[in-house]
Amino acid sequence: MAHQGKKLINDPNDVVTEFIEGLVETYPGLQYLDGFPGIKVVLRADVVGTTYDKVAVICGGGSGHEPAHAGFVGEGMLTAAILGDVFTSPHVDAILAGIRAVTGPMGCLLIVKNYTGDRLNFGLAAEQAKSEGYKIESVIVGDDCALPPRRGIAGRRGLAGTILVQKVAGASAAAGLSLTEVLDEAKHASEIIGTMGVALSVCTLPGQVTSDRLGPGKMELGLGIHGEPGAAVTDLQPVDLVVSHVLKQILSKETNYIPISRGNNVVLMVNGLGGTPPMELMIASGKAVLQLQLEHGLAVDRVYTGSFLTSLDMAGFSISLMKADTEILQRLDAPTKAPYWPVGVNGNRPPAKIPVPVPQSGSTRNEEVLIRPQELNEQGYVLEAAIEAGAKEIINLKDKLNEWDGKVGDGDCGSTMFRGATAILEDMKQSYPLNDAAETINEIGASVRRVMGGTSGILYSILFKAAYAKLKESTVITPRQWADALEAAVNAVSKYGGAVAGYRTMLDALIPASNTLKESLDAGQDPLTAFLLSSEAVVSGAEATKNMSAQAGRSSYVSADILSSAPDPGAMAVAGWYRAAALAVRDKLQN
């Protein structure tokens, strides 16, 4: 049964910005960057990157997990947190703004939860920052113990154990250690943590209808923090049995995810997922400590109970175990002013908070201002028709894409693609130089990068940037060069995203299109016929994903039975805009 979740919000599109505004008014040690809407960065108010004499520690990810990660910004923990939209990875420009704002000569460590979108966006930002002269290192945290070992290229998800890694890294940075030393301590911490979650309900996204697929009397083991299906759905059990199952899974010698054995010392974190009362969390903590001592022979040195990394209002909790030693405990006990680490809050709130301006790019090159030409040539008219048709088709497919993604992912593919398509239509009216195909492709990528975010946003940005680079090699663009550009774009997405044909991704639509286009041209087909044939191949490729097992992205955590109920939404989105563009080109050329 579907229902509209009740939320005390204004516009669902403004929830992250308004959250930040309230956060910095509440805690005087926090500040935020002020810039175009895509910049959502919370940072220490006392840090200026050019003069900061310690290693900066940055983490981030999609919003909806509060207090993570902005609530852990403060002396002794994070230097800055980069926030994406709800359950959507922050985009590259926001990450770069955060790096530039707080990174001094000692460098910066990026702590990244193991999700494809986070890895791609933080990775691209790290490379850009390095090219500007910053010293950057990264650590990937994947502490999930709920699912079987590594599936495809996705690996273990980053969960609440990430907060403990942040504390260790932040304390070592505050102690004045070098970037290499901070990285080593953070990597060590990430390798000795295991986490598993249990949920009684799925989360309710702002402004969206939620289906309670668990139903009454049911619970889900290993449910993802974005609502991804977990390991199993079972009948609701007493908390004693739930805690026992979770601890056995984390400490299992079959998976051997963390190096904890009988006689070791551990740190315990019981983390509420957003909709669990403190009473229930404390009950779980008490039972967990007892079971760890009596059943597993472990000494519990520290217990942290509360809501650290949530999933909006999901009912349930996760348990994290971390192997403890003297050095780890020193880092965890080190003082911090991060407001949501379990210590007291101090400091008077100033009467007003003035936003810090976004730091300028390290590049001295002035960006060229592009303007839509007053008169379009034949190529411009055809290109305009193709772009408009493709974007409008994505807008029409919004709800269907969300429906498919709700079955195999986190349910926002259509909404994410809708933002990109809407931005493309708006920007095309003003700034696309349609008589210059290469620059138009580049501008489409810029539109997408600005508004989409997440895995889809960065992959489409890579797709259009690679196509642009190939098209720029020639002054006159022929059908053969369009085919070469598509091939280069597909190869770039595969290179940086890690997926290949058969992984149940957007590439399973793009690769058949690219191959068919080149083969048809090689066989002597006229360009329009070749384009139309490739558009039929893109649709067939997308529909075939329904019979594929996922080996990349969040779908790789989903069972084969669920996957078979829907095609890959990313591939279907590609099929939608590609086919619509081909038909629009046909109609334009034949009229």
How many other β-carbons are positioned within 10 Å of the β-carbon of residue 287?
19
Count Cβ neighbours within 10 Å for each residue of 304-320 and write b for 16 or more, e otherwise.
bbbbbbbbbbbbbbbbb
**Residue 392 among known ligand-binding residues:** no
Of the candidates 545, 439, 487, 412, which has an alpha carbon nearest to the alpha carbon of residue 12?
A: 412
Of the candidates 100, 49, 41, which has an alpha carbon nearest to the alpha carbon of residue 73?
A: 41
Task: Name the token pair of 384.
Answer: 């305009």
Write the DSSP string, 375-426.
S--HHHHHHHHHHHHHHHHHHHTHHHHHHHHHHHS-S-HHHHHHHHHHHHHH
Q: Cβ contacts of residue 262 below 8 Å, gap of 6+?
A: 296, 297, 298
Say whether 226 is catalytic. yes
In whole angstroms, give the CA distance from residue 450 to residue 330: 41
Q: Look up residue 236 and give its amino acid.
A: L
Half-sphere exposure of 418 (CA within 13 A, CB side): 13
Gyration radius of the chain's alpha carbons: 25
**Residue 144 among known ligand-binding residues:** no
- Cis ω before 226 (30° cut-off from 0): no
DSSP state of 200: S
**Residue 296 among known ligand-binding residues:** no
- Residue 17 backbone dihedrals phi, psi, to 5 degrees: -60, -45
**Residue 514 among known ligand-binding residues:** no
**Degrees to nearest 5, angle at CA 359 with 355 and 360:** 140
Half-sphere exposure of 4 (CA within 13 A, CB side): 4
In whole angstroms, give the CA distance from residue 77 to residue 360: 25
Write the DSSP string, 501-566.
TTSSSTHHHHHHHHHHHHHHHHTT--HHHHHHHHHHHHHHHHHHGGGSPP-SSGGGGS-HHHHTTS
Q: Strand pairing partners for 304? A: 269
Crossing angle of the two packed helices 479-497 and 454-471, in degrees rounded to 10: 140
Write the DSSP string, 84-132.
EEETSPPPHHHHHHHHHHH--TT-EEEEEES-HHHHHHHHHHHHHHHHT
Task: Name the token pair of 163.
Answer: 């907060």
**Residue 474 among known ligand-binding residues:** no
Q: Strand pairing partners for 80? A: 43, 58
Yes or no: say if 110 and 136 are a contact pair by the CB < 8 Å rule.
yes
Among residues 3, 91, 188, 226, the one annotated as catalytic is 226
Yes or no: say if 34 and 355 are a contact pair by the CB < 8 Å rule.
yes
In whole angstroms, give the CA distance from residue 53 to residue 240: 48
**Residue 62 among known ligand-binding residues:** yes
Write the DSSP string, 425-461.
HHHHHHT--TTSHHHHHHHHHHHHHHHT-HHHHHHHH
**Residues flagged as binding site:** 62-65, 113, 118
**Residues flagged as binding site for substrate:** 62-65, 113, 118
Report the catalytic residues.
Answer: 226
